[in-house]
Amino acid sequence: MAIGRRELFGTAFAAGLAAATNAVAQQWGDPPTPATGDPDAPFWPSRERFPLWPKSPPGVPRQPPAFNPTMNGPHGARELWLRGVAVPEVHVFRPARSDGSALLSFPGGGYEFLSVQNEGLDVAERFNAYETTVFVLTYRLPGEGWADRHLVPLQDAQRAMRLIRSRAADLRIDPARLGIVGFSAGGHLAADLAASFAERTYAPVDAADSLSARPAFAGLVYPVTSLRPHIGHAGSSKMLLGDNAPEPLVDARSPALHVGADTPPCFLVHTLDDPVVPLENSLDWIAACRAARVPVEAHLFGEGGHGFGLHLPWTLPGSRWPDLFQAWIKRNHG
């Protein structure tokens, strides 16, 4: 029987072979190849998209990074990764019929690359089927020369939320029903936004920045919620903060320490056999939400590994998490 891309993805990732460091990524399947001209490359960029910043993003380096999309993974399950994001953008994916709900997706990749196909394009396809408009954020990677590197992804996430809300009428969404979902390091970004949406990370640039960046809800999938040693993911911490970051900076960007009463309701997915991001990241987030009386629902599955996105084999209960997330959204947020 032929094995499809989804089954290959689930098998590879369930084994924990995907990791957010370049050294491990190089060992996963065939070597990376340029996405341009690759017959397996998905259609990218999206037909509808808009940049976050009217001019240069905050903290732009003298030599901005060069855009570098590559195809990665084993034969039959290649996927698109992005590096060198100098112009962060919101990519828009509209459903055939919209019910007004909206979801902003943050792909993971250890803050070293963006797993934009597995945790962006595929998310859009799945949730468009639920009549939800999906936005995929190609955010800047903090280790590519930007000033104030520890704030770079959060700057982009806050700005994206505000811009989407400012264009709600044209996008045909209800700005009060705009939620987020993040995966791995993208889960860290989603958690950071959920806990620190009101933190001033950049100087306002236009009227959109008067709008709230608070998500209506947050989905955290195998997320990094702490950058403290032995809890979070060392690679994500190094890429976001640099080497030998002082403890106050580590704690400032450890979202589980900043959950408060205004943190939006949260939905979590994690597996007990995750070899990359320890389960404690989700357990600590659940505890913080309960202490702050923030509504939280969590699904902890025995098997699945890390980085599976929407591609766990159907034989594993964790493969149902998108349906569970959608049911939770509908039950609580219309």
**At residue 77, does pLDDT exceed 90?**
no
Q: Please tell me the distance from the alpha carbon of residue 231 to that of residue 253, in angstroms, as a whole number.
A: 13
pLDDT tens figures, 152-187: 999 999 999 999 999 999 999 999 999 999 999 999
Least confident of 36-45, 89-98, 124-133: 36-45
Taking the CB of residue 241, how many other CB atoms lie within 10 A of it?
20
Strands 102-106 and 133-138: parallel
Mean of all residue pLDDT scores within the chain:
91
Query: Residue 19's pLDDT is what?
Result: 37
- The length of the chain is 334
| Structure confidence at residue 11 as a pLDDT band (50, 70, 90) | very low
Looking up tokens 């044209």 gives: 170
pLDDT tens figures, 184-197: 999 999 999 999 99
Nearest to 227 by CA among 245, 249, 244, 250: 250
Q: Name the CATH topology of 5-333.
A: Rossmann fold (3.40.50)
Q: Please tell me the distance from the alpha carbon of residue 285 to that of residue 308, in angstroms, as a whole number.
A: 21
Query: Residue 36's pLDDT is what?
Result: 87
Average pLDDT, integer, range 89-114: 98
**At residue 306, does pLDDT exceed 90?**
yes
pLDDT tens figures, 228-264: 998 999 999 999 999 999 999 999 999 999 999 999 9
Per-residue 3-state assignment (H helix, E strand, C coil) for the chain: CCCCHHHHHHHHHHCCCCCCCHHHHHHCEEEEEECCCCCCCCCCCCCCEEECCCCCCCCCCCCCCCCEEEEEECCCCCEEEEECCCCCEEEEECCCCCCCCEEEEECCCCCCCECCHHHHHHHHHHHHCCCCEEEEEECCCCCCCCCCHHHHHHHHHHHHHHHHHHCHHHHCCCHHHEEEEEECHHHHHHHHHHHHCCCCCCCCCCHHHHCCCCCCCEEEECCCCCCCCCCCCHHHHHHHHCCCCCHHHHHHCCHHHCCCCCCCCEEEEEECCCCCCCCHHHHHHHHHHHHHCCCEEEEEECCCCCCCCCCCCCCCHHHHHHHHHHHHHHHHHC
Query: Residue 107's pLDDT is what?
Result: 98
Average pLDDT, integer, range 100-126: 98
| Structure confidence at residue 45 as a pLDDT band (50, 70, 90) | very high
Query: Residue 74's pLDDT is what?
Result: 84
Query: Residue 31's pLDDT is what?
Result: 84
Percent of the chain with pLDDT over 70: 91
Angle of CA points 191, 195, 200, to nearest 5°: 115
Average pLDDT, integer, range 44-55: 96
Taking the CB of residue 43, how many other CB atoms lie within 10 A of it?
8
| Structure confidence at residue 129 as a pLDDT band (50, 70, 90) | very high
**At residue 89, does pLDDT exceed 70?**
yes
Amino acid in position 265? P
Average pLDDT, integer, range 124-146: 98
